[in-house]
Amino acid sequence: MRLDNKVAIVTGAARGIGRAIAEKLAAAGAKVYILDINMDLAEATAAELNAQGMNVVAKQCDISNVESTQALANEIIAEEEKIDVLVNNAGITQKLGVLELTEKDWDTVMNINLRGPFFLTQVIFENMMKHRSGSIVNIASLSAERGGKFAGINYACSKGGIVVMTKCLALVGGDYGIRVNAIAPGLIKTEMAKQLQFSTDAIPLGRLGEAEEVGDAALFLASDRSSYVSGTILDLNGGEFMR
Ligand SMILES: NC(=O)c1ccc[n+]([C@@H]2O[C@H](COP(=O)([O-])OP(=O)(O)OC[C@H]3O[C@@H](n4cnc5c(N)ncnc54)[C@H](O)[C@@H]3O)[C@@H](O)[C@H]2O)c1
């Protein structure tokens, strides 16, 4: 699963799942742009990976700011000409009950988890259409499929939107050789999971997932090894939810 001479963008890659994805793609030979709101951490991550011989560039990005994110995407396109892989990973969760949620909470999560990723994708999709190839990987969530009690209804709805966005883009992208897929992780051991209440009792594999395991799935979907896979929502949950 090599990605030599390919350029990838991974959002929210300063830490957690995004970092693991960036690392897998870079280790496979891609030049990887990591876009994150936390520039200090993004730079530290890029430095660590570059010290291991990878080619990683950190860029400051608040995905909820459409204008600046689209401007950054255009800057990267001007530099690279062709973008091969986009991973929409940046996301936040809020542990708020149905009666606690305010309009502001709703908008904050939607803007980061769904609206921002769409408008970044719009710019990259145009570039992929021009070059008639590309792979987009969206990080959804188990909560999009069976509802989310602990992560907040706004979070689950935003991830449900990501699932539908994946299918819509896969339908349009097919004519241009663009594949669009999503990964729906169950609980993965990151800072985000620490905020949530969980038990491993209902997970057949009896443990939480590792960020690297999401990274491996993203690498598969990004690479030509998945050349006939598009519009798929890949469950990555230790068997917690079966279709
Ligand atoms: N950890 C889990 O159990 C789990 C399960 C299902 C889905 N997910 C999804 O996986 C993705 C990554 O989650 P994680 O667990 O690694 O979380 P995390 O909180 O460890 O990392 C999120 C990263 O996104 C960045 N980020 C946050 N807001 C941003 C913004 N406005 N613009 C740009 N970057 C921003 C953060 O700085 C951080 O580097 C998210 O979309 C999350 O919803 C996580």
Number of domains in the chain: 1
The reply to whether the predicted model has a pTM over 0.95 is yes
- Residue 220 covered by a domain: yes
72 contacts: CB under 8 Å, gap ≥ 6 = 35, 59, 61
> Structural domain of residue 75, as residue ranges?
7-236
Q: Would you say residue 241 lies in a domain?
A: no
- Centre of ligand 1 from the C-alpha of residue 15, in Å: 8
Residue indicated by tokens 């502001």: 104
Cα 231 to averaged position of ligand 1 atoms, centre (Å)? 22
- Any domain includes 43: yes
Cα of 114 vs centre of ligand 1, distance in Å, is 12
pLDDT given for residue 149 in this prediction: 78
178 alpha carbon, distance to own chain's centre: 17
Ligand 1 atom closest to Cα of residue 143: 6
Residue 243 lies in a domain: no
- Residue 239: how many other CB atoms lie within 10 Å: 12
- In sequence order, which residues have a C-beta less than 8 Å from that of residue 230 and are 6 or more positions away? 170, 173, 174, 179, 180, 181
How high is the pLDDT of residue 197? 72
Q: Is residue 148 situated within a structural domain?
A: yes
Quick one: which atom of ligand 1 is closest to the CA of 208?
3
Residue 217 lies in a domain: yes
CATH number, position 33 = 3.40.50.720
Task: Choose which residue among 35, 62, 86, 92 to substitute to test ligand 1 binding: the one with the highest number of ligand atoms within 8 A of its C-beta.
Answer: 92
Selection from 160, 145, 72 nearest residue 110 by Cα: 160
Where does residue 78 rank: exposed (0-12), middle (13-18), buried (19+ CB within 10 A)?
exposed
Is residue 199, in this structure, part of any structural domain at all? yes
Query: Is residue 158 lining ligand 1, measured as CB closer than 6 Å?
Result: no
The pLDDT profile of the chain, 243 residues, written as one tens digit per residue, is 999 999 999 999 999 999 999 999 999 999 999 999 999 999 999 999 999 999 999 999 999 999 999 999 999 999 999 999 999 999 999 989 999 999 999 999 999 999 999 999 999 999 999 999 999 999 999 999 998 877 899 999 999 999 999 999 999 999 999 999 999 999 999 998 887 777 899 999 999 999 999 999 999 999 999 999 999 999 999 999 998
pLDDT of 218: 99
CA of 13, closest atom in ligand 1: 39
Is residue 17 assigned to a domain? yes
Q: Whose CA is nearest to atom 31 of ligand 1?
A: 62
